[in-house]
Amino acid sequence: MSETDKVQCRKIALGKRRELHTNITHNEYGPNIRRFFRKWILREKAVSVIGLYYPVNSEMNPLSLIDILETHGKTICLPIVIGKNRPLTFKSWSPGKDLAEGHYGIPVPDNDKIMTPDLVICPLLAYDAKGMRLGYGGGFYDRTIRHLRKNKQTRYMGLAFSEQKSYHDLPSETHDVPLDAVLTEAGIRNF
């Protein structure tokens, strides 16, 4: 698939996600993602450090999972872009702690506590039946997961509306890393 086709796929998927975000409020989907995630995380004893993301634009909000994570003694961290073509770095964070403006205007933790997540939850534009994820095109999460997996088996979960599923295979290349699972308002799907 050409880069032009990928750009067009991203444009269509972003439009769909924006429409879903406009029509489904966090108050509607939040309780479902919390319920499904709570059941999942209780079974995952080896997962203690969770990398969330700070939602921007029409991304699903993962911050509603924080109360579950804190209740079960999990550590939360947020990603930081440190440079183009570099993996993300994760820093410890909890609600009420200072945030600074990072790359692309995304809030990032204002501390020096670097963390290595056992689970990375990421936003996406679309996903398919094979667990392939269509992101924004920067390759940050693919690079990050490959980097983290050099030293440990970090789990990789997308957070999306169920209607973001593509019924066709998404464009992928050898450097793309498939998701281990996707969390939606309809449940968790493992790949």
**Mean pLDDT of the residues in the chain:** 92
Query: Which token pair is 128?
Result: 């398919």
In this prediction, residue 144 has a pLDDT band, given cuts at 50, 70 and 90, of: very high
In this prediction, residue 78 has a pLDDT band, given cuts at 50, 70 and 90, of: very high
**Residues 104-118: what's their mean pLDDT?**
92
pTM above 0.85, yes or no: yes
Residue 1 has pLDDT above 80, yes or no: no
In this prediction, residue 22 has a pLDDT band, given cuts at 50, 70 and 90, of: confident
- Backbone phi and psi for residue 40, each to the nearest 5 degrees, phi listed first: -70, -50
**DSSP for residue 148:** H
Kindly list the domain boundaries of the chain, sorted by start residue: 3-190
Contact 47, 119 (CB under 8 A): yes
**Residues 10-38: what's their mean pLDDT?**
89
Q: Which CATH class for the 3-190 domain? A: alpha beta
Residue 109 has pLDDT above 80, yes or no: yes
Hey, which residues does 78 pair with through a beta bridge? 91
In this prediction, residue 59 has a pLDDT band, given cuts at 50, 70 and 90, of: very high
Please tell me the predicted confidence (pLDDT) of residue 2. Answer: 53
Query: Which token pair is 154?
Result: 């970090």
Distances (CA, A) of 114 to 5, 31, 77, 84, 99: 37, 30, 9, 19, 15
d(CA 13, CA 126): 6
Please tell me the predicted confidence (pLDDT) of residue 57. Answer: 87
**DSSP for residue 74:** -
